[in-house]
Structure 1
Amino acid sequence: MQKDISVTRAVIPIKRVASVDVFRGFVMLLMMAEVLDFPAVSKALPNSALWQLLAFNQSHVPWQWLSLHDMIQPAFTFLVGVVLPFSIASRKSKGATLRALLRHTVKRSLILILLGIFLRSIYSERTNFTFEDTLTQIGLGYTFLVILAFYSLRIQVGALVFILIGYWLAFASYPLPDANFDYATVGVPANWHYNMDGFAAHWNKNTNLAWAFDRWFLNLFPRDEPFLFNSGGYATLSFIPTLGTMMLGLFAGKILRSTDGPQRKMRFFIIIGMCLIAFGILLHFTGINPIVKRIWTPAWTVFSGGICFLMLALFYWIIDISGKQQWAFIFTVIGVNSIAAYVIADGGIKTFIHRSLYTHFGQNFDLILGTPYTTLLSGSLVLIVEWLILYWLFKKKIFIKI
């Protein structure tokens, strides 16, 4: 392991990149906005194409392809990699040794894993040992990411290629179910519209390698009932290609820290992003590897990573190049306290706020804008309260760090 991070360009002094905070805040706001419940409004207004579009993009697709909502996790994961070069440089400038950095890394990984399990267990009568939560997935791969950050770009690229090809090959080698397989036993209708045929069937829901691994792994933990399948098809092993997403973010972070001019950096982001998207689409439509977010296929890693590069380019151009930051304050407040925002949006705080509003005003929500917009109005109030909590933390300079 090399003592210093190896990069191909000289680096600029450590400086917080405003666009990264705004980008992260935008992503977290998408997650927090689930409380608006666009699908409920769309259901109440079935003839509205607008609400159908909004509902689709606030829901996860059943299996292949994506919606805007499906980009929340990869974008958040990508940004973990983006900030890593800055984080390591900051700690080293304060005198942190390599051993201290690795010790902090392992500690952070464990906290992320445990926090993810805790959030998934809030509404359970006992600890829900599951590892597909965003924080848990990041935690499982984070230590490997930091270790790789100390190697040269060539080794990092080689590791990324090895991870994606190796993961693809492992799935491709796993035997397909026979013609008499009872799909109902794994929570999938026999003639489910989203089941794929031919070679792509190796990545079907709950009949793949990652599902088989969880049938063994998750049953090692205490459970009320044996684990048979995840109803959404999510899997523990997804942390492996998720590490690939973080590595793509790491490459973007290195570009941000380089001495290249802003326009050149943005051009790199756009070119890399478009190439990754094109390659992901090629893998999908040739049947080599489908784009499936729920099991984080290698094609999804490449495709969603390309979108993340383009999103970063957009925010970098607006915030850091054009200098238009004032409008983004709402996002910044969320972005600089992303862990707090995640816990608020995914934990008991959101439920407490929601229940409190309904306790005091619930009977009147449907009278203000009409019954179809009840969840929209109540959710908006919850979202405002959540943002005000984060704003209070921002004003008090309280930032939750792991």
Structure 2
Amino acid sequence: MSEIKVADISHDQRLLVHEEAASTQSLSEKRRLASLDIFRGLTVALMILVDDAGGEWPAIAHAPWEGCNLADFVMPFFLFIVGVSIALAFKCVSNKFDACKKVGFRTCKLLFWGLLLQGGFSHAPDELTYGVDVTMMRFCGILQRIALSYLVVALVEIFTKNSHEETLSTGRFSIFKSYYWHWIVGALVLVIYLATLYGTYVPDWEFVVYDKHSILYGKVQSVSCGVRGKLNPPCNAVGYVDRQVLGINHMYHHPAWRRSKACTDYSPYEGSLRQDAPSWCHAPFEPEGVLSSVSAILSTIIGVHFGHTILHFKEHSDRLKHWISTGLALLALGLTLHFTHLMPLNKQLYSFSYTCVTSGAAALVFSVLYSLVDIMEWKRMFLPLEWIGMNAMLVYVMGAEGVLAGFFNGWYYRHPDKTLVDKLD
């Protein structure tokens, strides 16, 4: 296995052998949970697909604002997988200090790679342009969000784990009682997120347009807000917190909302902004920002719960019943919040309804893969995805971040500019 992975921070994920056919084996005999590797590989492959094909097929690209397209499932799937891995990796913690050191080291590695890959070093691999303008460096990103969720949830797992507990209590709701600290942390995260989202006053704000292709390049634009509790693109608390904490120049300059009908006539495709587009269409917005990343911790906590289920229930059928029922309940709750307009699905804000729907979908996908791979043992048909899952960081760096394209484009026989000069001569 590679040393560091996008969504599997542990080298020790295991599945206890428990079926009657293996009843004579010792409980210490373990094997890898192949379905989790395959789920991770599937998610990485999905990420590359939507990144490369999303421009041509906007139905699979990120939703411009409200809604949930195929690309919007990638991040919560990663966080769900991280949660499952945490539960399996720290099922027995003999030395909390050593465990914390490992968590801290892996968190730092994720932050390092996140800043390197998404901080702005590689501007355009196809054009071989590199270098970082530190005044415009992007601080947040996919790996940074994973690092935060991993750090918080792993520390909760470590410090609330009874390393001497071999068998958990029985009962229908015992799994919730046994890990009540995780749900307390989840409730605190939700309260902080909702209180900030609906209680923060968002004043008017200004920004400078840095898009060199815009006729407004270099000009100062103003956005009128002066509201509280709004979830629209220009005046939500998520963007306000990021502008205050990160600084507007350190946010993502190509937000998905530019494909909305208010911004372009080509919606839902990318295209030039309308001349009468509101000023906020030219503004940056961080889809992996501070407040939305706090909310994203919930996805990892839900994933930890599914990992605990593997330890808590010894029969495949019991695990699947719990996973499927929980997944359907999350889906129902999220869709109800969305269609009753209490809280719309929104990946950019990482709304609670979005957390529920995407976590519920992750639960069902994981259940299907677990049935096919770990129960029915149809592993061979998923070998490519398993390899990707076991080398997720390598594939992520080489594929999704354009490093592979930049490497190949860096080799040439004659420089393109020199060839053009020769033709003109």
Q: Which residue of 2 aligns with 1:212?
A: 240
Report the equivalent of 2:112. 114
Residue 82 of structure 1 pairs with residue 84 of structure 2:
yes
Q: 1:114 to 1:129 in 2, by over 3 A?
A: farther
Q: Following superposition of structure 1 onto structure 2, how do residues 240-279 of structure 1 map, counting pairs within 5 Å?
A: 240-279=294-333
Q: CA RMSD in A?
A: 3.4
Change over 3 Å in CA distance of 1:255–1:176 after alignment to 2? same
Change (3 A) 1:21 1:220: same
Q: Does residue 1:289 correspond to 2:343, yes or no? A: yes
Alignment of 1:359-378 (within 5 A): none
- Specify whether residues 287 and 169 from structure 1 end up closer, same or farther in structure 2 by C-alpha distance, changes over 3 A only: farther
What is the TM-score of this pair, normalised by structure 2?
0.67
CA contact (8 A) 2:288 2:348 kept: yes
Q: 1:212-238, CA deviations, whole angstroms, 9 ceiling, x for partnerless residues?
A: 122122239989x9xx95346552322
Equivalent runs, 1:53-202 vs 2, <5 Å: 55-89=57-91, 92=93, 97-120=95-118, 121-123=120-122, 124-127=131-134, 129-150=137-158, 151=160, 152-175=178-201, 202=230
Q: Is the 8 A contact 1:273 1:306 kept in 2?
A: yes
Within the candidate set 35, 45, 55, 1:19 is matched to 35
Structure 1 counterpart of 2:133, one-letter code: R
Higher helix share: 1
Percent identity of the aligned residues? 21
Cα distance between partner residues in 2 of 1:116 and 1:130: 10
User: Structure 1 CA distance, aligned partners of 2:408 and 2:356?
Assistant: 37
Letter in 2 for 1:134: I
Q: For the residues of structure 2 that align with 1:213 and 1:39, how far apart are their CA atoms?
A: 29
Amino acid paired to 2:80: F
Whole-Å Cα distance in 2 between the matches of residues 105 and 351 of structure 1?
32
TM norm structure 1 = 0.70
In 2, the alpha carbon distance for the partners of 1:273 and 1:216 equals 36
- Aligned partner of residue 203 in structure 1, secondary structure: coil
Aligned-pair distance for 1:169?
Answer: 2.0
Check 1:171–1:322 CA distance in 2 against 1; reply closer, same or farther (3 A cut): same
The CA deviation at 1:326 is 0.6
CA distance in 2 between counterparts of 1:352 and 1:266 reads 44
Aligned to 2:270: none
- Deviation per residue, 1:143-195 (Å, 9 max, x gap): 21112214241121122122113311221112366xxx6899899xxxxxxxx
Contact kept in structure 2, 1:202 and 1:208, CA below 8 Å: yes
CA drift at 1:301: 1.3
CA contact (8 A) 1:81 1:246 kept: yes
Q: Would you tell me which structure has more strand in proportion to its own residues?
A: 2
- Counterpart amino acid of 1:217? V
Gaps of 5+ in 2: 1-16, 19-26, 123-130, 161-177, 211-226, 254-281, 415-425
Distance in 1, matches of 2:154 and 2:396, equals 22
Residue correspondence of structure 1 range 18-57 to structure 2 within 5 A? 18-34=34-50, 36-37=52-53, 39-40=55-56, 55-57=57-59
Report the 3-state secondary structure (helix = DSSP H, G, I; strand = E; otherwise coil) of the residue aligned with 2:140: coil
Structure 1, gaps ≥5 residues long? 1-9, 41-54, 188-198, 361-402
Cα shift at 1:57: 4.4
Max radius of gyration: which structure?
A: 2
Counterpart Cα distance in 2 of 1:222 and 1:37: 27
Q: Distance in 1 between matches of 2:288 and 2:152?
A: 21
